Structure 1
Amino acid sequence: MDFDVIVLGAGIVGVSCAIHLQDRSRRVALVDRRGPGEGTSFGNAGLIERSSVVPYAFPRNFGTVLRYARNQSTDLYWDYKAMADFVPWLARYWHESSPTRLAAAARDMLPLIRLCIDEHEALLARAGADAAALVHDGGWIEAYRTPNEFMLAAKRAENLASAQDLRLDTLDRAALLEREPALSDAFCGGLHWRDPKSVTNPGALTKAYAALFTKGGGRILVGDATTARAQSDGWIVQTSDGPISAREIVVALGAWSDIVFAPLGYRIPLRAKRGYHMHYEATRSAALGQPVLDREQGYVIAPMQRGLRLTTGVELAKREAPPTGIQLARAEAYAREAFGLGRPLDAEPWLGLRPCTPDMRPVIGPAPRHRGLWFAFGHAHHGLTLGPVTGRLLAEMMTNQTPVADPQPYRATRF
């Protein structure tokens, strides 16, 4: 065998899996059609989200559902041409979002969420000063435009923070503007979640972790995941350097993971929630200190190395469909004055794919019917958050070590 393990996918999850397997004396090849961190890991809001202890659920509020059905909202846009494919998935998502099932999903995800900061910090300590400089303390702010929404959200948030031992500051209008002078008075208050960290260039952070992998002797190769084939004693994949083989293979392709598992007969309900970003010049003298979520309109403005990044909510459309730009235009109309957005700094919007399962849990662990096949995908909005802890958990499972968290909730056989 050329390697012990081939990891398909060089996003934050795949890179983290490769590092942790290498740390356990495995010879690892990391294969992707692009460079590390150039897919969805490049384009997110840059949050290591320690405070996100409740998964993003399907709304159960009738008013919210009706608003989404009208398809005029900023935080969700759906393309009617894709709905036939999405309706069964959305029905299961709605079912899994009942209060009882959502509470179970939160309990299952909590062990990974609690470890997300520690596992990133462990990699940052090894990746060097340049990588560490990309990651900042300070958390993020959830800002509200209407007093009633803010009052209700503050009560829920304070109860959650108390139950989960999270640091939260509830800010009225004056306190919010004092903490973030770059904001306009469009917001009446905010919730400052202080435990998370923010990343000013998520793609560069993934590349820094990939450099740590190659420094340890790992190989990064350009290849086509659809060429992965089982053979008598392992797996083979075609790369630009020729075919490579290994006894084990990891599918960490995010929203594209089905190009490998579906031909092998696995019917895992993975769908992509699409999202956009665009960078803008900052026009205000005060610099934005941390990411801010406009909660009622459903977009994030985050300070990045390349200006202010506007990251949209969810677009439900076919994975391969061309960009629409609809959500970005809607969000920009609200964000321009609230955040002082200047001229766009990108030639065109960036489009990414969030890999989601309807039960709001990733798939981490062995494939049930193929020896040496492992899964690590489906992290929804939290790939950056959960990449390193996922890599550790999977590597421990693959090397018969005691896992850092119970892997049962993430097993592929649950579908």
Structure 2
Amino acid sequence: MRRTEVLVLGAGIVGVATALQIQARGREVVLVDRRGAGEETSYGNAGLIERASIFPYLFPHDWRALALYAVNGANEARYHLRDLPYFAPWLLRYWWESAPERALRHALAARPLIENSLSEHEKLMAEAGALDLMRKTGWLKLFRSERTFAAGRAAAKAIEPYGLKVALYDSAALSRIEPSLNGVHGAVHYLDPASLKDPLALTLKYLALFEKRGGVFLRGDAKTFRPASAGYGVVTEEGPLTAEAAVVCLGPWAETVIAPLGYSCPLAVKRGYHMHFAPRAVLNHPALDADNGFLLAPMARGIRMTSGAEFARRDAPPDYTQIDASEVIARQLFPLGERLDPKPWIGRRPCLPDMLPIIGPAPRHRGLWFNFGHQHHGLTLAAVTGRLLAEMMTGEKPFADPEPFAIGRFSHQ
């Protein structure tokens, strides 16, 4: 039987970065996942390290927007009537948490994470030899009308007091930096974020650094995880493993481990899809079509188009309606070539209704820790939430107040 100090369950970008941060503080760590590193939710993101996302994604309170979503009239969000009874309580809580006063409180709690998100990644990327994967060119938010551009300008102005930089472009100014985009009225250029040309390659570089430092990655099913006499245990392909402490970094699958131990939280998923296309022109920046709810990102494989949010059960059959509709519009925006993937990829974003992750100790199980629920920002927050958790685990003074991220904020655990 293999023994270690710390077991990290889940080898997505959050799990691998967390393992690295714990390891850097002198702990022996074994990373366990049923698949290869970065092959689940982390595989399909837009590649943004979103240094500018001070304010979380909020549930709309405008009745006109709500009416449009109710009839699936907005491409950025889609729901399935069959799953509405499952989602309705979560959506109601999401709406409640998105009220201005509560949303501001959540944003201020997350601010230290967002502010340190890029710098923490840069430290790990430098050690992992991965800085060549990053482009520090920001990203573009595109608007098709003056009405939506006016709202975009207002949102951009709202983040300037936080020391963030934006540039505003009319169609002529945009064409000078992105000559192949068509039909855009105006754009906001968020200058502080960075992007990756291959998000999976970053996860694998982090894993290689973890193993170079002496860490071990094993295949194993988290469903076999149990408290053990000496801490916690899980069955791997190489046999049983026990650890003094364990960290759950399982994203949308976290409840498969925490629920049998008596912990609950309102975790839901917003599913998303992507497809790669051969480019017929150059796209210099990731570009979000804000009016139509999809993003185009230049990647090593081609142009990756990511869809908006689909509200459905985590394991329901895929529905390609959203991404197929996005492709029709995207071909008018940018000269995409042929599809490069056999079928669209589907991923599952783990979301809490306050749009904050769960980070910290399990209240009733000594040595059990949580780091999951990063919503749309798993890549963005991976390194920095890994640091926060590692500081808590090893007795360092946390660089940010961890209380807003405790699992107990939802109910008595």
TM-score, scaled relative to structure 1: 0.97
Verify: 1:290 aligned to 2:285, yes or no.
yes
- d(CA) in 1 for partners of 2:238, 2:404: 38
- Distance in structure 1 (CA, Å) of the matches to 2:151 and 2:87: 31
Decide whether the 8 Å contact of 2:230 with 2:242 is kept in 1: no
For 1:238, which of 224, 232, 235 is the aligned residue?
235
User: Which residue number in structure 2 is paired with residue 310 of structure 1?
Assistant: 305
Give the aligned residue type for 1:410. F
* Equivalent residue number for residue 187 of structure 1: 184
1:158-197 mapped onto 2 (5 Å cutoff):
158-161=157-160, 163-184=161-182, 186-197=183-194
Matched, 1:73 2:74: yes
Deviations 1:381-411 (A, max 9, x none): 0000000001111011000011121111101
Q: Which amino acid aligns with 1:288?
A: L
Letter in 2 for 1:298: G
Shift of 1:361: 0.7
Partner SS state of residue 133, structure 1: helix
Pick from 272, 279, 282: which aligns with 2:269?
272
CA distance in 1, matches of 2:243, 2:154: 53
Shift, 1:278, TM fit: 0.1
> Which residue does the alignment assign to 1:50?
51
Shift of 1:65: 0.6
| Match in the other structure for 1:360 | 355
Matched position secondary structure for 2:260: coil
Q: CA RMSD in A?
A: 0.9
Give CA deviations for 1:260-288 in whole Å, capped at 9, x if unaligned. 0111111111111100000001112xx11
- Determine helix, strand or coil for the equivalent of 1:249: strand
> Residue 154 of structure 1 aligns with which residue?
153
Q: Is the 8 A contact 2:121 2:383 kept in 1?
A: yes
What's 1:227 paired with? Answer: 224
Which structure 2 residues correspond to residues 6-405 of structure 1 after superposition, within 5 A? 6-128=7-129, 131-161=130-160, 163-184=161-182, 186-284=183-281, 287-405=282-400
- CA drift at 1:160: 2.2
Local SS of the residue matching 1:45: coil
1:155 is displaced (CA, Å) by 2.7
- Measure, in 2, the Cα distance between the counterparts of 1:300 and 1:60: 24
| 1:156 partner letter | A
Alignment gaps of 5+ in structure 2: none
Measure the CA separation in 2 of the matches of 1:371 and 1:151: 51
SS in 1 for 2:125: helix
CA contact (8 A) 2:228 2:242 kept: no
Q: 1:159 Cα shift?
A: 3.5
Give me the whole-angstrom Cα distance separating, in 1, the residues matched to 2:8 and 2:264.
Answer: 21
User: How far 1:147 sits from its partner (Å)?
Assistant: 1.1
- AA matched with 2:55: V
Distance 1:411 1:159 in 2: 28
For the 8 Å contact 2:143–2:149, the answer to whether it is kept is yes
Q: Distance in 2 between matches of 1:182 and 1:368?
A: 53
Q: Which amino acid aligns with 2:174?
A: L
2: distance between equivalents of 1:203 and 1:26? 25
Higher mean C-alpha deviation, range 376-385 or range 227-236:
227-236
Deviations 1:107-131 (A, max 9, x none): 0110100000110010011011xx2
* Deviation at residue 290 of structure 1 after TM alignment: 1.0
Letter in 2 for 1:268: C
Determine the C-alpha separation between the residues in 2 that align with 1:159 and 1:321.
38
Q: Structure 2: which amino acid aligns with 1:13?
A: V
Q: How many residues get paired?
A: 409
Displacement of 1:233: 2.4
Deviation at 1:149, TM superposition (A): 1.3
Q: Aligned partners of 2:42 and 2:207: how far apart in 1?
A: 12
Distance (Å, rounded) in 2 between the aligned partners of 1:365 and 1:192: 35
User: CA–CA distance in 2 between the matches of 1:275 and 1:392?
Assistant: 27
* Aligned residue type for 1:235: Y
Are 1:406 and 2:401 an aligned pair?
Answer: yes
**Which amino acid is 1:135 matched to?**
M
Where 1:34 maps in the other structure, the secondary structure is coil
Fraction of identical pairs, as percent: 50
Secondary structure (helix, strand or coil) at the match of 2:288 reads: strand
Runs (4 or more) in structure 1 with deviation over 6 Å come to: none
The structural deviation recorded for 1:153 is: 1.9
